[in-house]
Chain A
Amino acid sequence: MKEKKEHNESPLSQIKRENPFGVPEAYFDTFSERWNSRIQAEERPVTRQRWLNIFKPVVGLAASFALVFFLLYVPLENFLPQIWNNYLAKHPGNTVQTAANDDNYFETLMNYQVFSSSDDLQILSTLNEVDNSMAADSLTSQQIEDYIVMNYSDWEIIRNYNQ
């Protein structure tokens, strides 16, 4: 009451006490629809972002592995054979024979198998079994020669000799 009385006596009382602002036509009728469109637009990126958040670390990890692989593989693939070849050119004795389809290699392998069982130590051991009374270190060249002639064919002897 007192407040109203104060207003009536004040300059405020001479001004219409009503809202002087307006809005565009049908603003309140369409606000709800516009707001619905906005909420749909707001929620769409959230779903997409959720998937992104799940896959981002996985994709990042895969990309890191790919990068590390690329950084290691490319230099090794391109430069290591060259370095290895240069090394082999300087140190030819270190060549590793790996050509399994090479005829020479097969031949060498067969010769090795034939004579691997007939190295000097085995010959001496066999001779010792034949004649226990004879000491291995007392064998003469003639005795060894006789043993070889008796136990191996000419072909085997020639092949071994060539080797």
Chain B
Amino acid sequence: MDIDESDLISELKDETRRAMAFHILVKSYQERLYWHVRKIVVNHDDTDDVLQNVFLKVWKSVENFRADSSLFTWLYRIATNEALSFINERKRKSHHLLDEGSEFLLSTLEADEYFEGDEAQMKLQKAILTLPDKQRLVFNMKYFDEMKYHEMAEILETSVGALKASYHHAVKKIEAYIEHN
């Protein structure tokens, strides 16, 4: 769906046209945001919950959106924060807060009825789950979404250099995991 972002923002700020504009926003970004969240929380149902919360948050705060960054960046930032909060909450509840390996995410992956990949892809996903949250995020955004470093830097509010270093470390760890498993 081709939309002019600035037009969409002005319609979102207009109370009389907000509902229609928001419908367009959801339709335009739902898929990209879904996959971004799905790679973080792994499970489909959890992703659905998080994504609904993301749009709910956007709905409630869109009036105050100051357009310091693009709508796309703002949405990705909200989705990232919501997804990370969700898994941290899950870790806290299952007493896995200090477990960087995210055992509960691994069991979620193995039980995922919507996983359609082959064995090698399952191994890659397991390798990704061994990474710390930030490296996992960076790896997914770069490797699968092929996002530019400067876009990632804006979303994650960090430097391009730090992102490159994170990605490099992530790749090394994943290669090591694949070779040894």
Contact = CB atoms under 8 A, between A and B. Distances in A.
Interface of A: 6-7, 10-12, 14-24, 27-28, 31-32, 34-36, 38-39, 42
Interface residue tally of chain B, by bracket? 35 or more
A56 to B, nearest CB: 23
Interface stretch (B86-94, B129-137, B155-163, B173-181): B173-181
Interface stretch (B5-13, B69-77, B112-120): B112-120
Contacts of A6: 171
B85 interface: no
Interface of B: 23, 26-27, 30-31, 34-35, 38-39, 44, 48, 51-52, 55-56, 59, 112, 114-118, 120-125, 143-144, 171, 174-175, 178-179
B52 A38 contact: yes
Q: DSSP majority for the B interface?
A: helix
Contacts of A36: 23
A11 B144 CA distance: 16
Given A11-B179, A28-B34, A39-B59, A21 B144 contact: no
Contacts, number: 76
A31 B30 contact: yes
Nearest to A14: B120
A36 B24 CA distance: 12
A8 B62 CA distance: 43
B175 A20 contact: no
A32 B23 contact: yes
Contact of A20 (B51, B122, B171, B179): B122
Contact of A35 (B26, B35, B39, B117): B26
26 contacts: A12-B143, A12-B171, A12-B178, A15-B120, A15-B121, A15-B123, A15-B124, A16-B120, A16-B121, A17-B144, A18-B117, A18-B121, A19-B144, A20-B121, A20-B122, A20-B125, A21-B44, A22-B116, A23-B114, A32-B26, A32-B30, A34-B52, A35-B52, A35-B55, A36-B23, A38-B52
